[in-house]
């Protein structure tokens, strides 16, 4: 099968609003036109966009809430915040349109211990296959005994529902890490 190349054109309107010192909203509305050479059923012409609210009610607590609607070639299907603070992203390349809503919470229990949690639901739209919905719940923690050493673990539960039984799954994922940083 030949490779499916695509051409995407967007007109983006973006805005950042800082209503208070503890809250920030970032929004994007795009007028999108995406055309595929081979998989023409994945062509999209319409409005896409995203909005994110970063709220820090206290010095120790932070919430990141987001909603998005975008094409499968552009959207992050699933994001997991690793205990290191890095974000692991999976895309949805076979999806025509993906809508996602989620909230992540971060809490600094102390100067050396931090916790995080995430709830997310993602709907993927396919033209030739049945649509599906994935729900994710994740929790994790990190311990920084020194500035050079970090240790942490995370657990996530993912569940996908679909009219096509072969696309359904349930998964538990556990990951742990240790990091040592040489500082000069």
Is a pLDDT exceeding 50 seen at residue 175?
yes
Percent of the chain with pLDDT over 90: 50
For 117-128, what is the mean pLDDT? Answer: 84
Global pTM reads 0.75
Is the pLDDT score of 114 beyond 90? yes
H/E element, 8: strand 6-20
At residue 150 the predicted structure's pLDDT band, cuts being 50, 70 and 90, is: very high
> Of 130 and 150, which is predicted with more confidence?
150
CA of 22: how far to CAs of 14, 59, 102, 112, in Å?
20, 9, 19, 23
Cα angle, residue 141 at apex, residues 137 and 143 outer, rounded to 5°: 170
């Amino acid at each position: 099968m030949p490779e499916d190349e695509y051409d995407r054109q967007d007109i983006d309107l973006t805005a950042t609003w800082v209503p208070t010192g503890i809250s920030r909203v970032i929004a994007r509305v795009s007028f999108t036109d995406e055309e595929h050479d081979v998989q023409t059923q994945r062509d999209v012409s319409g409005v896409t966009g995203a909005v994110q609210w970063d709220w820090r009610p206290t010095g120790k607590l932070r919430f990141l809430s987001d909603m998005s609607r975008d094409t499968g070639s552009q959207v992050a299907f699933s994001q997991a915040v690793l205990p290191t603070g890095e974000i692991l992203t999976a895309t949805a390349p076979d999806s025509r349109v993906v809508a996602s809503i989620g909230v992540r919470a971060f809490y600094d229990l102390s100067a050396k211990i931090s916790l995080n949690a995430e709830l997310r639901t993602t709907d993927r739209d396919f033209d030739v296959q049945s649509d599906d919905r994935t729900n994710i719940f994740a929790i994790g923690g990190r311990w920084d005994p020194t500035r050079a050493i970090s240790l942490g673990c995370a657990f996530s539960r993912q569940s996908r529902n679909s009219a096509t039984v072969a696309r359904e799954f349930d998964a538990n994922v556990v990951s742990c890490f240790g990091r040592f940083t040489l500082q000069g």
